[in-house]
Amino acid sequence: MKHADIIVIGGGATGAACALGLVREKAGTVLMLDKTFGIYRPSRANFGLTGYLLKGLNDAVYAKWAFKAIQEWAEFGPQLEQDSGISLDFALNGVGEPFLCEEEKAVRVQQTQQLKEMAEVNGYKYNCEILDRYEFSQLIPKMELGEKVIGGMFSSDNGHVNPLFMLRAMRKTYINEGGIFIAGESVMEIIPGQSHTIIKTNIESYVCSKVVVAAGHGSTRLLNHLGVKLPLFPLRGQLMVTNRQPPMLPIPLFLVRQTGEGTFMIGVSIEQAGHDIGTTVEAMNSQAKKAIELFPIMAEFNWVRSWGAIRVITQDDSPVYDTIPGHDNIFVLVGHSAVSLASLHSSIIPKWIISGRKPKEIENLGLRRFHV
Amino acid sequence: MFSSYETTKQTVTIILDGKPQRVPAGVSVAAAVLGTGKTHTRTSLISGEPRAPFCMMGVCYECLLEIDSRKDQQSCQVQVKEGMIINRQIRTNGEEK
Ligand SMILES: Cc1cc2nc3c(=O)[nH]c(=O)nc-3n(C[C@H](O)[C@H](O)[C@H](O)COP(=O)(O)OP(=O)(O)OC[C@H]3O[C@@H](n4cnc5c(N)ncnc54)[C@H](O)[C@@H]3O)c2cc1C
Ligand code: FES
């Protein structure tokens, strides 16, 4: 049987960030196992925002965690680019969200107020300005706003990244720094023992001291065997991409962003569709219409591709970081926004896994909150 | 979908970058433009690099051309027609030339 100190199951945004952090912290032999399943691919199909804007409305702990993640990205991003030699198209030059009617504005103003107050209580500053139409248009001088836009909000220290380059850079750096990556083996079972855990894949068996389950929706089945019910549910998002355009949208918005290659991405629908990653005409139609309402010039762009992907999300939107009851060497890391949170998944989380001492700031982001 | 030059005797006239050109009938716009000896059909909007049709089967989006006033058409997927007006999408400093 092959041996490793720590085995990370899942090589998506969460697993790769954590595995990278573990080798950087010199945690011994680290093995990352990933079998890419068609439906478990949000790490390869997401929108690429690195932001805390509007995050944690239900949960002050998560709000602060998300805020911290973006502060850390300021260092994590450039360091990852340097270590991997891969440019990530990463920028923290702000994220905006326009308002198309007074009701929309009222909701956003209220949410912003709430998050600002939560932040103040928790000792940090939630940065978001509410802008009128003129001020908002100044952020995007090269694109004319649709006539319905009455203003918007803007947070100057949020940002975006090419999520595919991010994933590749994390995996590459992980391997360069001594991590072992086995792609194409599917973990079938986790068998806990007194001091060691056995990981059975479709091909091999491995023995290790610690296990990190970061397999997105694939985690549910693995932990079910151990009697743990993960509070995850599938929530689909559909994205469209256009043909390349000259650079004209300098900041990403929730609905559209322009990538470093010039492509516009339009998204992101929120639908309960089980594990179906298909696309629908209705969603495409409604997203495209909204995009054109926002920027009429987009009516002239060609739509070249689209796809659906399944979010890994909990009832309260916050991630789950915990160990399994009775097995404090089996860690579980699952949740939404793993692009935004990659900086912390690569620093604080690996430190916790190595030391076994869960930091206070994520004490409440465990499984127990779902069983009250 | 492509017919070879040998078997096609018929031709059509297209207007390429403002100049009339006789090209084989029935071929794709991409093939017709390449057949006139042009080595590139557009420049990258970001890097300014010259680009040309690559896959000839609708996948790579390298072959974009302005066809009858519509920009960014996948020219490998469009058949030439008599009188078609085709412009290559060549830019310098972000401006169309
Ligand atoms: C449409 C959409 C837009 C999004 N936009 C953003 C955004 O803008 N910003 C942001 O921060 N987040 C965004 N997200 C969320 C983000 O994509 C996810 O949080 C993230 O991808 C989750 O990563 P993960 O590694 O936890 O899970 P996954 O990406 O699911 O990765 C898990 C990996 O484990 C593998 N695996 C599963 N089971 C097994 C097994 N038994 N054995 C071996 N391997 C296994 C899977 O195949 C997969 O490769 C978006 C998500 C969607 C769907
Ligand atoms: S040459 Fe590839 S799409 Fe036309």
- Residue B86 pLDDT: 98
- Residue B5 pLDDT: 59
User: What are the structure tokens assigned to A356, written together?
Assistant: 């076994």
Contact status, residue B64 vs residue B74, Cβ threshold 8 Å: yes
For residues B22-37, give the mean pLDDT.
Answer: 94
- Residue B47 pLDDT: 87
Residue tagged 């069983």 (tokens): A371
For residues A78-103, give the mean pLDDT.
Answer: 97
- Please name the residue of chain A whose CA is at the shortest distance from the CA of residue B60: A304
Which of A262, A302, A304 has its CB closest to that of B46?
A262
A47-69 residue pLDDT tens: 999 999 999 998 999 999 999 99
Contact status, residue A4 vs residue A208, Cβ threshold 8 Å: yes
User: What are the structure tokens assigned to A107, written together?
Assistant: 């909701």
- Residue B80 pLDDT: 97
- Residue B2 pLDDT: 47
Domains of chain A: 2-53+164-231+316-370 (3.50.50.60), 95-156 (no CATH), 233-314 (3.30.9.10)
Please determine, for residue B94, whether its predicted confidence score (pLDDT) is greater than 50.
Answer: no
For residues A342-350, give the mean pLDDT.
Answer: 98
Would you give the distance in Å from CA A97 to the centre of its chain? 19
Consecutive H or E run containing B50: strand B50-51
Residue A372: pLDDT band by 50, 70, 90 thresholds?
low
Please determine, for residue B3, whether its predicted confidence score (pLDDT) is greater than 50.
Answer: no
Q: Is the pTM of this model over 0.90?
A: yes
Please determine, for residue B96, whether its predicted confidence score (pLDDT) is greater than 50.
Answer: no
A188 CB-near residues (< 8 Å, 6+ apart):
A200, A201, A202
Which neighbouring-strand residues pair with A143?
none
Distance CA A260, CA A147 (A): 27
Contact status, residue A339 vs residue A163, Cβ threshold 8 Å: yes
Distance CA B11, CA B26 (A): 8
Contact flag A243-B94 (C-beta cutoff 8 Å)? no
Would you give the distance in Å from CA A298 to the centre of its chain? 27
Contact flag B45-A300 (C-beta cutoff 8 Å)? no
User: What are the structure tokens assigned to A316, written together?
Assistant: 């309260």
* Size of chain A, expressed as the number of residues it contains: 372
What number does CATH give the domain B3-91? Answer: 3.10.20.440
Of residues A266 and A371, the one with the higher pLDDT is: A266
Q: Give the distance (Å) from ligand 1 centre to CA of residue B30.
A: 39
- The complex scores an ipTM of 0.71
Q: What is the mean pLDDT of chain A?
A: 95
Closest ligand 2 atom to residue B54 Cα is 1
Residue tagged 């409305």 (tokens): A57
% of chain A at pLDDT higher than 70 = 100
Question: How many residue pairs bridge chain A and chain B with CB atoms within 8 Å of each other?
Answer: 19
Contact flag A243-B72 (C-beta cutoff 8 Å)? yes
Q: Give the distance (Å) from ligand 1 centre to CA of residue A41.
A: 5
Of residues A371 and A148, the one with the higher pLDDT is: A148
% of chain A at pLDDT higher than 90 = 91
Taking CA atoms, A73 is separated from A37, A42, A77, A159, in Å, by 28, 20, 5, 9
Residue numbers in A near B72 (CB within 8 A): 243, 302
A274-316 residue pLDDT tens: 888 889 999 999 999 999 999 999 999 999 899 999 999 998 9
- Residues in chain A whose Cβ is within 8 Å of chain B: 243-247, 260-262, 300, 302, 304
Q: Give the distance (Å) from ligand 2 centre to CA of residue A305.
A: 14
Q: How would you write chain A as a 3-class SS string?
A: CEEEEEEEECCCHHHHHHHHHHHHCCCCCEEEEECCCCCCCHHHCCCCEECCCCCCCCCHHHHHHHHHHHHHHHHHHHHHHHHHCCCCCCECCCEEEEECCHHHHHHHHHHHHHHHHHHHHCCCCCCCEEEEHHHHHHHCCCCCCCCCCCEEEEECCCEECCHHHHHHHHHHHHHHCCCEEEECCCEEEEEECCCCEEEEECCCEEEEEEEEECCCCHHHHHHHCCCCCCCEEEEEEEEEEECCCCCCCCCCECCEEECCCCCEEECCCCECCCCCCCCCHHHHHHHHHHHHHHCHHHHHCCEEEEEEEEEEEECCCCCEEEEECCEEEEEEEECCCCCCCHHHHCCHHHHHHHHCCCCHHHCCCCCHHHHC
Would you give the distance in Å from CA A141 to the centre of its chain? 29
Q: Where do the domains of chain B lie?
A: 3-91
Which neighbouring-strand residues pair with A307?
A239
Q: What angle do CA A117, A120, A124 make, to 5 degrees?
A: 130
